[in-house]
């Protein structure tokens, strides 16, 4: 369908532009606003790929929670919130490395079929069964990782630690 | 039911990975480093969702299950990263990663 191709091209362009802007803009608060737009754009891409559960999760976890956490981190570490970052000189080596990796990936995609392949929809109930099934209890493992991260974060920020 | 070319989708996630890598290598602010890592992780999660969507069999849903777990893990990583930011800010008064050299003595 031509409309879906156009929607994908629009979403891809917005994703690239917002991600680049987030890293190139000088004020940290503007960076976080750009990255929030980037996450909302990715959620739109998940909806386009017929994965609505992941789209909702991306909106809730990234565009909601992570953005607010990052803003909070900026708030508590600065005296003035809208202060500019010192300019960092961008050396040629990182740009060359990022460009090389991009060229490598783009050359790899040349091998793939360029014609459209069909995207399948699914029943979200099957996904929840997959998340809780016995041979891969993903959500339980995720919960254990989050619990240990919670303990580690509390240890890092508690008062009186030297 | 819709159709996309895998090449375009993979080029998008490759581009996002390159942007994240560029940010990790060039930025000195810890929060910007965290954002760069998030962009790179999101590029990886996109790949899982693409291939789960294209495969079409029932077992392909494990791709989406892995994507759910990765999104949760990335959020956890941001929480721990911000705890490190707060500790670094308290100890050094700055969140510049170039100044966090306490292990060099």
- In tens, the pLDDT along A40-53 reads 999 999 998 888 88
Task: Judge contact between A46 and A54, C-beta under 8 A.
Answer: yes
Asked if A97 and B2 come within 8 Å (Cβ–Cβ), the reply is no
Place of tokens 């819709």: B2
Task: Give chain A positions within 8 Å (CB) of B39.
Answer: 19, 22-23, 35, 38
Determine whether domain B10-97 maps to CATH 1.10.287.3510. yes
Query: Alpha helices, DSSP H only, in A25-137?
Result: 28-48, 52-57, 67-77, 92-109, 124-132
Query: pLDDT truncated to tens, each residue of chain B (105 aa)?
Result: 566 777 888 889 988 998 998 888 888 888 999 999 999 999 999 988 888 877 766 666 778 888 888 999 999 999 999 999 888 888 877 778 877 777 776
For residue B51, the chain A residue with the least C-alpha distance is A119
ipTM (interface predicted TM): 0.90
Burial readout B2-34 (b: 16 or more C-beta within 10 A, e: otherwise): bebbbbbbbbbbbbbbbbbbbbbbbbebbbbbb
- Mean per-residue pLDDT, A74-80: 80
- CA-CA distance, A50 to A44, in Å (whole number)? 10
pLDDT at B44: 93
The reported pLDDT for the residue numbered B27 is 83
Yes or no, beta carbons of B3 and A120 under 8 Å apart: no
Cβ contacts of B83 on chain A, cutoff 8 Å: 152-154, 156-157
**CATH number at A1-83:** 1.20.120.1200
Phi, psi of A158 (to 5 degrees): -70, 155
């Amino acid at each position: 369908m031509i409309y879906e191709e156009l929607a994908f091209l629009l979403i891809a362009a917005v994703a690239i532009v917002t991600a680049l802007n987030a890293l190139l803009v000088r004020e940290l608060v503007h960076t976080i606003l750009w990255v929030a737009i980037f996450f909302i754009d990715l959620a739109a891409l998940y909806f386009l790929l017929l994965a609505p559960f992941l789209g909702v999760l991306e909106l809730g976890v990234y565009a909601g929670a992570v953005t607010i956490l990052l803003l909070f981190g900026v708030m508590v570490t600065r005296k003035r919130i809208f202060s500019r970052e010192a300019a960092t000189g961008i050396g040629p080596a990182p740009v060359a490395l990022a460009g090389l990796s991009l060229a490598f990936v783009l050359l790899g995609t040349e091998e793939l079929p360029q014609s459209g392949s069909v995207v399948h929809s699914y029943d979200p109930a099957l996904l929840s069964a997959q998340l809780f099934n016995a041979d891969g209890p993903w959500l339980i493992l995720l919960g254990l990782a989050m619990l240990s991260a919670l303990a580690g974060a509390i240890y890092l920020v508690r008062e009186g630690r030297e | 039911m819709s159709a996309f070319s895998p090449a375009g989708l993979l080029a998008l996630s490759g581009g996002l990975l390159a942007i994240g890598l560029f940010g990790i290598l060039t930025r000195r602010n810890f929060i910007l480093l965290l954002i760069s890592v998030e962009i790179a992780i999101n590029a990886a999660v996109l790949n899982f969702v693409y291939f789960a969507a294209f495969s079409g069999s029932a077992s392909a849903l494990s791709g989406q299950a892995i994507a759910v777990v990765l999104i949760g893990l990335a959020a956890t990583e941001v929480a721990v990263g911000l705890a490190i930011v707060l500790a670094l800010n308290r100890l050094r008064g700055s969140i510049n990663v170039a100044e966090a050299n306490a292990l060099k003595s």
